[in-house]
Amino acid sequence: MSEDHRLRRNKKILGVRWHLGLSYLLVIWVILGVLLLFMSNLLETSIIGARRASLYAQAHLIASAIRARGGPREARIATIGGLPPQGRVLVLDGEGRVLDDSASDPGMALKKLGFDEVRAALSGREGANTYYLPDGSFAMYVAVPADWDGTGGAVFIAQDLKDIVSQYRSVMGMVVWGGGIASVVAVAFAWHLSTTISEPLSDLSRAARMMASGRLDSRVSPKGPLETRELGASFNYMAQAIENTMERQEQFLMAAAHELRAPLASMRALVESMEISPPEPDELPELINDIHIEILDLQQTAESILSLLRARSGTAPSKPQQANPAKIIKELIKSRAATISERNLEIIQRYQTGGEVPIDPLLFRLIVANLLDNAIKFTPPGGTVAVTLDFPENRNKMVLEVSDNGPGIPPEHLDKIFERFYRVDPARQKATGGAGLGLAIVKEACEKTAGVIHVETSPGAGTVFAVEWHNIRSDES
Ligand SMILES: Nc1ncnc2c1ncn2[C@@H]1O[C@H](COP(=O)(O)OP(=O)(O)OP(=O)(O)O)[C@@H](O)[C@H]1O
Ligand SMILES: [Mg+2]
């Protein structure tokens, strides 16, 4: 099953609509259940209880009235008023046999009643119970002890509780109706609420899929509650960042191809001219030298691109290890000794300590090499280049300075020199060579090692590049 298909199926089962709707219904039904339980309890304890007490009182009244009139044989129930409505009264002797019946049912005469309530009354206690009868009615049986001739007896009342049942039914009906209406309202509300949440989320997943398929300009319009609006805005921010990065990569590739094309075009022109008119043997060394220069240029550009990509690779900051920065600088100066003496430059070096500090040696080497190469390259013969490494502020930070007394950099170019392939004067710099990548590499390596770079320059007086690492301290005294 495809990922898409599975997602769509899961959405049907687990969609926010279902979650919200079912949760609301669950809450409403639980509340309804508790309410019904509470009402049944209330009915039992108060309404039915009150009815029981009233029937007991009536039974006792009837018993007293019978006794006052000389016993059941003299006082017939029919002659005593105040019988309970929907009720049937039976007068029983000490054995539980029917002596009198308010319904005047001849079949009941002297019939022995064996109900629990009757047994309780005959043994001197009041008894009462409620019953669901086979005909579907709900009745209460009550019996109280009575005595009119010393042989005991009881008054038994059976009452149909249909008035209570109909009251209960109408209240329950109202509760169930209310629950039903609340359920419909809850489902409608859940539907509306889930739409306000799920719609922006669906938009977001659609935009994410479009981005994945290459439409980097896909955006969403943030809507819904605060959280989904924030999510939408974050998505747009991320999409813009991705688009910018891709655009920069594209520009970088174009610029790189452009830089590689220039020496290749020169070499092609040289080779084609040799094909048209084969060079004289004495012209060959110069031609070969020209091609050699272009090849070196090409190689240098390719290496710079590789260094930049290496410095950029990975998003995590560099992993510092114990390394000796002074030693790295000395090695780099030594490897450039031939150029330095060829250009008759004076190199001044000053190191506050020669010890090890925690730094990424590869990135540090890239920074020093590029700043040093620039200083050597742009300082006219006979000039001075100084490299210093200090640990000021009680050795709590490390500062590298590479300075020269070369031509300096015009201020209007200062904010651009760290861009890739940027050179102050590309035409005039043809002789010095270079693709304009050195300072971009330095910037990248500084960012990776948490170094902060500054430039101080004045045209004609020279340039100072300083890098400060607040995260590097030297423990050596
Ligand atoms: N010490 C310096 N003195 C004068 N100008 C400098 C100095 N350092 C850098 N620049 C100017 O800044 C530009 C960018 O320097 P960057 O190191 O990025 O490129 P590059 O040296 O021209 O080429 P690459 O470093 O790729 O060989 C240089 O072209 C140059 O114009
Ligand atoms: Mg450079």
CA of 440, closest atom in ligand 1: 18
DSSP-derived secondary structure for 25-85: HHHHHHHHHHHHHHHHHHIIIIIIHHHHHHHHHHHHHHHHHHHHTTSTTTS-GGGS--PPT
- At residue 190, the pLDDT reads 87
Mutation probe of ligand 1 site: the residue of 297, 339, 376, 417 with most atoms within 8 A of C-beta: 417
> Would you state the structure tokens that stand for residue 462, as one six-digit string?
């020279």
- Terminal Cα-to-Cα distance of the chain (whole angstroms): 68
Q: Is 366 exposed, middle or buried (0-12, 13-18, 19+ CB in 10 A)?
A: buried
Q: Measured from the CB, is residue 438 less than 6 Å from ligand 1?
A: yes
Q: Measured from the CB, is residue 405 less than 6 Å from ligand 1?
A: no
CA of 418, closest atom in ligand 1: 18
- At residue 307, the pLDDT reads 76
Using the predicted structure, report yes or no on whether residue 6 has a pLDDT greater than 70: no
Distance 434 CA to ligand 2 centre (A): 6
- At residue 106, the pLDDT reads 87
Q: 28-42, 140-154, 415-429 — which is least confidently predicted? A: 415-429
Ligand 1 atom 8, closest CA? 374
Buried b (16+ CB within 10 A) or exposed e, 270-281: beeeeeeeeeee
Q: Which residues contact residue 110 at a Cβ distance below 8 angstroms, ignoring those fewer than 6 apart?
A: 97, 98, 99
Q: Distance between CA 295 and CA 274 in Å, rounded?
A: 17
Distance 236 CA to ligand 2 centre (A): 37
Q: Measured from the CB, is residue 434 less than 6 Å from ligand 1?
A: yes
Q: Distance between CA 409 and CA 405 in Å, rounded?
A: 11
Q: What is the 3-state secondary structure (H, E, C) of 272-336?
A: HHHHHCCCCHHHHHHHHHHHHHHHHHHHHHHHHHHHHHHHHCCCCCCCCEEECHHHHHHHHHHHC
- Mean pLDDT computed over 84-89: 89
Q: What percentage of residues in the chain have a pLDDT greater than 70?
A: 95
Q: Measured from the CB, is residue 130 less than 6 Å from ligand 1?
A: no
- Mean pLDDT computed over 196-224: 92
- Which of 266, 208, 197 has its CA nearest to residue 234? 208
Ligand 1 atom 24, closest CA? 434
Domains of the chain with bracketed CATH: 1-218 (3.30.450.20), 230-315 (1.10.287), 317-469 (3.30.565.10)
Mutation probe of ligand 1 site: the residue of 423, 432, 458, 463 with most atoms within 8 A of C-beta: 423
List, for residues 196-209, the tens digit of each pLDDT value: 888 999 999 999 99
> Would you state the structure tokens that stand for residue 420, as one six-digit string?
């890739």
Residue matched to tokens 């022995």:
112
Q: Measured from the CB, is residue 402 less than 6 Å from ligand 1?
A: no
- Mean pLDDT computed over 232-253: 91
- Mean pLDDT computed over 5-27: 74
DSSP-derived secondary structure for 399-443: EEEEEE-S----GGGTTTTTSTT--S-TTGGGTT---S-HHHHHH
Give the amino acid at 202: S
Q: Measured from the CB, is residue 366 less than 6 Å from ligand 1?
A: no
- Mean pLDDT computed over 296-314: 78
- At residue 430, the pLDDT reads 66
Q: Distance between CA 420 and CA 77 in Å, rounded?
A: 117
Please report which confidence band the pLDDT of residue 219 belongs to, taking 50, 70 and 90 as the band edges: very high
- Mean pLDDT computed over 208-229: 92
Q: Distance between CA 215 and CA 208 in Å, rounded?
A: 9
- Mean pLDDT computed over 55-72: 90
Please report which confidence band the pLDDT of residue 476 belongs to, taking 50, 70 and 90 as the band edges: low
Please report which confidence band the pLDDT of residue 357 belongs to, taking 50, 70 and 90 as the band edges: very high
- At residue 210, the pLDDT reads 95
Give me the residues paired with residue 91 across strands: 100, 155
Residues in the chain: 477
